[in-house]
């Protein structure tokens, strides 16, 4: 479980997050909305552990451990992984090498790359000259090798063409153990391929009194879904593929609104972030 309590974060002299609270239960995936510059990337970078995001108050707990001041590599080893909006290019470092390095137990890089349509890029320097969409696929490939338990996705579908978007969507589902059998939440099923979502069912997880019971993944009897996802999106395309459990609106440094992802997205389109944050809160 990821638990964020009263988180305050500064970047340089600027207060970016102010008293932010967030809880994601095992097996859940949340979608994070918010206007440009509202601090979505900052929140993910803070969870990942980037030192320039100074935590000035509050606490982050993951898998029962207080990780607020844990180093970035310790967090990665604890199971946190991120797909970046703008990752750095590293001259001379082959993509194959970094994918190998992501996996602690060794991984069949060629097989993974084939799945992601990325074989031709393995011998190129990581991110050097990659197009926007290629960066996304490379980032997901690294996350797959890492097999993170908490996967943070910063705009995974922006800049991705219409054909690759289903690949991205399916990959995220696979990463979050949402790819087998029936989905517990059926929002995506009700979307026309090219149109906006229509009616949507609520998909709050069935919780025990303590709220800790993870989803059962249908189609894989006995298998319990534990992976946690947090996905930033502006376009909402990802909602057509990933059946998320909750939508969040980041506004003014706090989670100002919560609700069903497709519903929230619809509201944002209709009345804008500001109004949506107010009405959904």
Partner 1 sequence: MRSLDDRAHEAKDKKAAIGPDVDLDAYSLESPTHVDVKNLNLMPEADKEKMAFAGLDISEKERSGTYIQKDAFAIHSGSYQDGLEIIPIRKALKEMDWIQEYYWKLASVDTDKYTAQARLDLQNGYVIRALPGKKITLPAQACLYLDKEGFNQNVHNIIIAEEDSELHIISGCASASHVTRGLHVGISEFYVKKNAKLSFSMIHHWAEDVVVRPRSVGIVEKGGLFLSNYISMKPVKSVQSYPTIYLVGKGAVARSYSLLVGSPGSELDVGGRIYLRAKDTRAEIVSRAITNGGNIISRGDIVAEVPGVRGHLECHGLILNGGVMHAIPELKGMVDGVELSHEAAVGKIAQEEILYLMSRGLTEEEATATIVRGFLSVDIPDLPAPLKAEIDRAVDLSQKEVM
Ligand X SMILES: Nc1ncnc2c1ncn2[C@@H]1O[C@H](COP(=O)(O)OP(=O)(O)OP(=O)(O)O)[C@@H](O)[C@H]1O
User: Which residues contact ligand X by CB under 6 A?
Assistant: 11-12, 14, 16, 34, 36-42, 85
Instruction: Choose between 82 and 276: whose C-beta lies nearer to Mg ion.
Output: 82
Angstrom CA distances, 137 to 3, 82, 118, 149, 206, stand at: 28, 13, 8, 19, 33
Q: Given candidates 9, 34, 38, 41, which one binds Mg ion under the rule CB under 5 A?
A: 41
Question: DSSP of 163-223, one letter per residue?
Answer: HHHHHHHHHHHHHTT--SSS-S--TGGGB-TTS-B------PPP--TTS-PPPBPTTSTTP
Q: Tell me which stretch binds partner 1 (CB under 8 A): 90-98, 172-180, 206-214, 245-253.
A: 90-98
The yes or no reply on residue 261 touching partner 1 (CB under 8 A) is: no
At its nearest, how many Å lie between partner 1 and the CB of residue 133? Answer: 19
DSSP type of residue 236: -
| Distance from C-alpha of 231 to C-alpha of 239, rounded to nearest angstrom | 10
Q: Which two tokens stand for residue 113?
A: 């790359």
Least Å distance, CB 92 to partner 1, is 3
Q: Whose CA is closest to 7, among 226, 244, 196, 254?
A: 254
- Asked whether position 60 contacts partner 1 by CB under 8 A, the answer is no
Q: How many CB atoms lie within 10 A of CB 104?
A: 11
Residue 91's binding partner among Mg ion, ligand X, partner 1, none (Cβ under 5 to 8 angstroms by kind) is partner 1
Number of residues that bind partner 1 (CB under 8 A): 28
Residue 152 Cβ vs partner 1, minimum distance, rounded to whole Å: 10
User: Closest approach of Cβ 245 to ligand X, in Å?
Assistant: 21
Nearest distance from residue 136's CB to Mg ion, in Å? 14
95 near partner 1, judged by CB under 8 A: no
Please report how close the Cβ of residue 49 comes to partner 1 at its closest, in angstroms.
7
Which two three-digit tokens encode residue 251? 């506004």
Residue 44 as a binder of partner 1 (CB under 8 A): the answer is no
Q: How far is the CB of 46 from ligand X (least distance, A)?
A: 9
Residues 111-130 that bind partner 1 (CB under 8 A): 125
Q: How many helices (H) and strands (E) in the chain?
A: 7, 10
Length of the chain: 281
User: Which CB atom, from 69 or from 278, has the smaller least distance to partner 1?
Assistant: 69
Residue with the two structure tokens 């946190």: 80
CA atoms within 13 A on the CB side of 204: 6
Q: Summarize as ranges the residues that interact with Mg ion (CB under 5 A).
A: 41, 85
Q: Summarize as ranges the residues that interact with partner 1 (CB under 8 A).
A: 48-51, 71-73, 75-77, 81-82, 84, 87-88, 90-94, 97-98, 101-102, 104, 125, 142, 146
């Amino acid at each position: 479980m990821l638990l964020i309590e009263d988180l305050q974060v500064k970047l340089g002299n600027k207060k970016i997050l102010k008293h932010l609270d967030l809880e994601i239960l095992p097996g859940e995936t949340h979608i994070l909305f918010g206007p440009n510059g509202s601090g979505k990337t900052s929140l993910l970078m803070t969870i990942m552990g980037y030192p320039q995001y100074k935590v000035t108050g509050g606490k982050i707990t993951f898998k029962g451990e207080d990780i607020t001041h844990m180093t970035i590599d310790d967090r990665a080893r604890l199971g946190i992984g991120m797909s970046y909006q703008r990752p750095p290019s590293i001259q001379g470092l082959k993509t194959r090498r970094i994918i190998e390095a992501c996996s602690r137990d060794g991984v069949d890089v060629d097989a993974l790359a084939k799945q992601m349509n990325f074989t031709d890029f393995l011998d190129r320097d990581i991110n050097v000259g990659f197009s926007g969409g290629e960066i996304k696929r490379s980032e997901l490939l690294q996350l797959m090798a890492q097999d993170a338990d908490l996967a943070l996705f910063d705009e995974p579908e922006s800049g991705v063409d219409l054909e690759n978007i289903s690949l991205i969507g399916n990959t995220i589902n696979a990463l979050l153990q949402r790819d087998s059998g029936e989905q517990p939440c059926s929002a995506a099923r009700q979307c026309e391929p090219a149109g906006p979502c229509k009616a949507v069912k609520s998909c709050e997880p069935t919780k025990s009194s303590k709220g800790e019971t993870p989803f059962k993944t249908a189609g894989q009897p006995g298998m319990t879904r534990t992976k946690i996802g947090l996905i930033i999106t502006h376009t909402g395309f990802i909602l057509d593929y990933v059946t998320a459990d909750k939508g969040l609106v980041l506004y003014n440094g706090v989670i100002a609104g919560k609700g069903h992802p497709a519903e929230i997205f619809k509201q944002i389109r209709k009345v804008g972030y500001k109004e949506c944050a107010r009405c959904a809160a």
